[in-house]
Amino acid sequence: MTIIGKSVVRKEAEEKVSGRAKYTNDYNSSSFLHGKAVISTCAHAKIKEVDTKEAEKLTGVRAVLTGTPHVLTGEEIRDRPPIAYDKVRFHGEVIAVVVADNPIIAKQGASLIKVDYEALPVVNSPREAIKKDAPLVHEDVSKYERDDGANPIPKSNISNYFRIRKGNVSHGWSESDVRIEMEFSFHPSDHIAMETRAVTAEIKPNGYLYITSSSQAPYMIKKLLSSYFNIEEGKIIVNTPLVGGGYGGKASVQLEILAYLASKAVGGRPVKMINSREEDMITSPCHVGLDARIKLGSTKNGYLKVAEIQYLFDGGAYSDKAVHLCRAGGVDCTGPYYIENIWCDSYSVYTNHPYPAPYRGFSHSEVLSAFERAMDILAKKLQIDPLELREKNAILPGHTTPTQVRLNSSTVGNLPECIKRLKNRMNWHEGTRQEISERIVRQKGISCVWKNSTIPTDSSSGAILTFNEDGSINLISGVVEIGTGTKTVLAQMLAEKLKMNVNNIHVKMTVDTQTTPEHWKTVASRGTFMAGRAVLAAADDVIRKLKGITSQVLRVNPDDLAVGNMRVFIREEPEIGLHFHEISHGYTYPNGNAIGGQIIGSGTYIQSRMTNLDPETGAGRPGPEWAVGAQGVEIEFDKRDYTYKIIKAVSILDVGKVLNYKGARGQVVGAMSMGIAFGGRETFIFDTEGRVLNPQLRTYRPLYYGDHPEYVVDFIETPHLDAPYGARGVGEQGLLGMPAALANALSEAANVSLHNLPITPELIWWEKEGNKQ
């Protein structure tokens, strides 16, 4: 291979580093009106009155929208009015939208709207939500319209109940010599993408709806708006320019709905809505919280026999993606281990918190934070080295997963090899603890990870290839360039396949749902896999067509032709052939006769052999492959102050095949830093009334330059045979084990078992001394 694996510079790099790259909010027009939301200051309250009179009087205000009972939205359960009606259910919920001539008037108008609330009792955690006498966030969830996959419990705060029943749990307990039981929890937080969400919507006089959005899911915007508002799908056209980071947060459809309603309220004129950072954090969907309870049983030699698990996902005030997050958390409810007997109840639960979007890893970092902490607790009880415990139980080809899929090396990769490499890269044989001084201890902590996607069984992707007169190729795919460099990797795949220079492949960066073939959603590390397969299929189509016309011109059998360096040539006489520019737009004979025509290649991919999950046992095939890995951190901990620094963070990931080395490393390091921030610093802090006290970057702080450790990233390559060049997903894995590795290192260093994220010095102080005062 010549191009696969190379660190090809991403095709949009120059635009980005020069500051010329354009994102949704960079497109302006004097014809735009501007919308501004008024958001709730209460977490749960009856809306007694929304007084819009002053705002409506303001010169330049064109419309003021408030809630109505008519339309409910939500991905699997339709429980959410786009603008709160009658009640607000979380701090940050939209209560009104002001549309005005410019953003300043819109903001002034928004500040003139007065809301009269009557406070209602608040559900402030998932555990509280499932108590018998808990206030109901929704009066009766079962009355909402819903998809077949959603399984709410009537007249409760449970919006989805998903279970795994594998093997025989009581049998597992009877085989166990040692058992542990633990709880683990963390609050919701946020993605903090650099670009806050932005949308423009315009309804043309002919009824066509044009949306431009900073979205990971333009095709889903089209589908959902069509279904919510009964608009013909063909009349909805969604554009996505470059997107400034998504991390799952931009896979939810929310601001688009408001922009559409706002445009409709002003006769279809284009309306732009952008989130302030505060709105992007709490009004638009956030990162899910979790309360977990895990029981593990093992033999005295450290072989896991049983896992009994309860996950309560903090679904916030509206179910949206929480239903799916809860299912994904159930599907991979354990770490990457072979456990014969598994019982898992996974719930998404209504609370009066901001509601979640997907978050990089889609429930896997959340579940692994709890489960991998439980593994260390078990190792300690067994007095076994924590890596050895994981090695003993590592899931292998031939084993079955919690959803009872029997694995092979293509579908699971090589976890033991990852563990072995981790040991080596962390100098595990030197020991895990080193006393540096009286106060400072250096400590290692680890976690294993796995990740599969649980996207719909029929998810698909398409690609189109067209030619320029010079024979260069345009590559058109529905993958949104959210900063992952996927479109450049697709060009590399095509260049590899056609044995040509990647510089002669031009990638269409933006997506337009009318002309770009659909890619389900740019999520779940499925870009290189599904879009990659579509591109390779399109390449086959192009090759067949190129050979077809060449065989006519050269009067040879197409099977005797080969393609390379933008030429189609006779395999045994390579000097005889035609350049792409001679055939890609038809071949013209010296006398002027022409044959063929322009060549357009197309290719599609649909996931194959995925199955729905059995509602009783969860059994089924949720996604194409599990990518596995092992991760660790080395920290220096101050035993007096309970402060710590992360010195080194290590990821050994089985990525199947590295497609673009620096791109892959960048993805992994970025994900690791996000995991470190999730584990060590980022969280919403709620008051007793359920309000978020830190919805600002002043007080909610992601990692800064100086906070980063040394990053060590190594790749194992066990091919996933279904995937282009064997590559597994690489966008999410780096995040997944970081919080658990950190929690494990700090629990050892501080000699206290930690059960919450993020782990701040205050949390450790609380566990060591504060709670005893």
Partner 1 sequence: MIPFQFEYYKPTTVKEAVSLYKTLAIRGKEPMYFSGGTEIITLGRLNNIYTEAVIDIKDINDCMVQKFDDKHLYLGAALSLTQIESNDLFPLLSKVSREVADHTARTKITLGGNICGNIFYREAVLPFLLANSTVLIASEDGIKALPINDIFNKELQLDDGEMLIQLVTDKKYLDASHIAIKRRRQWDAGYPVISIAALKIENTIRLAISGLTEYPFRSQQLEQIINNRSITTDSRIQYFIENVPTPILNDTEGSDKYRQFVLKNTLKDIISELEGV
Task: Please report, as ranges, the residues that interact with partner 1 according to CB under 8 A.
Answer: 103-104, 107-108, 111, 276, 278, 640-641, 643, 645, 680-681, 685, 693-694, 698-699, 701, 704, 706-707, 758, 760-762, 765-766, 769-770, 773
Q: Cβ of residue 34: shortest distance to partner 1, in angstroms?
A: 10
Residue whose token pair is 């889903």: 220
Compare residues 125 and 452 and give the one whose CB is closer to partner 1.
125
Q: Cβ of residue 762: shortest distance to partner 1, in angstroms?
A: 5
With H, G, I as helix, E, B as strand and everything else as coil, classify residue 630: strand
Report d(CA 541, CA 602) in Å as an integer: 6
Please, which residues have CB within 8 angstroms of residue 377's CB and are 6 or more apart in sequence?
A: 180, 182, 753
Distances (CA, A) of 143 to 90, 147, 153, 767: 21, 12, 11, 43
Compare residues 37 and 221 and give the one whose CB is closer to partner 1.
37
Compare residues 128 and 278 and give the one whose CB is closer to partner 1.
278
Compare residues 62 and 521 and give the one whose CB is closer to partner 1.
62
The encoded tokens of residue 650 equal 């290590």
Alpha helices, DSSP H, located in 530-660:
532-554, 580-583
Which residues are bridge partners to 184 per DSSP? 292
Asked if 169 contacts 360 with a C-beta cutoff of 8 angstroms, the reply is no
- DSSP annotation of 559 reads G
Q: Cβ of residue 623: shortest distance to partner 1, in angstroms?
A: 35
Phi, psi for residue 646 in degrees, rounded to 5: -90, 120
Residue whose token pair is 């633990």: 182
Q: Cβ of residue 706: shortest distance to partner 1, in angstroms?
A: 5
Compare residues 276 and 551 and give the one whose CB is closer to partner 1.
276
The closest alpha carbon to 162, from 319, 304, 361, 284, belongs to 319
β 585-588/94-100 pair status: unpaired
With H, G, I as helix, E, B as strand and everything else as coil, classify residue 60: coil
Compare residues 111 and 457 and give the one whose CB is closer to partner 1.
111
Phi, psi for residue 475 in degrees, rounded to 5: -110, 125
Q: Cβ of residue 746: shortest distance to partner 1, in angstroms?
A: 12
Report d(CA 380, CA 744) in Å as an integer: 11
Q: Cβ of residue 679: shortest distance to partner 1, in angstroms?
A: 11
End-to-end CA distance of the chain: 64
Q: Cβ of residue 115: shortest distance to partner 1, in angstroms?
A: 15
Whether the ω angle into residue 758 lies within 30 degrees of 0, i.e. cis, is: yes
Distances (CA, A) of 348 to 249, 311, 321: 18, 8, 10
Please, which residues have CB within 8 angstroms of residue 591's CB and are 6 or more apart in sequence?
A: none
Q: Cβ of residue 744: shortest distance to partner 1, in angstroms?
A: 18
Residue whose token pair is 């069509």: 226
Compare residues 119 and 685 and give the one whose CB is closer to partner 1.
685
Q: Cβ of residue 367: shortest distance to partner 1, in angstroms?
A: 24
Q: Cβ of residue 62: shortest distance to partner 1, in angstroms?
A: 17
Compare residues 235 and 639 and give the one whose CB is closer to partner 1.
639
Q: Which amino acid is at 448?
A: C
